[in-house]
Amino acid sequence: MYAHTHTLTDAYTHTHSLTYAHTHTRTHRHSLTYAHPQTHADTHTYSHTHTHTRI
């Protein structure tokens, strides 16, 4: 079982080695745009890739 904690980072690379080689690359972009005091535009793009390689 792999427990993953979500962190808001621009670019996050995680390498985990236990019984197998685990390469984890995540790209997280979060942009907030305020066009008017009463208008809030929120854009959220999330990219996630997993690569598992047996040793």
pLDDT at 51 > cutoff 60: yes
pLDDT at 55 > cutoff 60: no
Q: How confident is the model over 9-46, as pLDDT tens digits?
A: 555 555 555 555 555 555 555 555 555 555 444 554 55
In a domain, 25, yes or no: yes
Taking alpha carbons only, the member of 54, 40, 6 closest to residue 26 is: 6
Segments forming the whole domain that contains residue 31: 14-47
> Model pTM?
0.15
Residue with tokens 């390498």: 15
pLDDT of the residue at 25: 57
Other beta carbons within 10 Å of 13:
10
Alpha-carbon gap, residue 7 to 42, rounded angstroms: 18
pLDDT of the residue at 32: 52
In a domain, 3, yes or no: no
Number of domains in the chain: 1
In a domain, 52, yes or no: no
In a domain, 20, yes or no: yes
In a domain, 37, yes or no: yes
In a domain, 8, yes or no: no
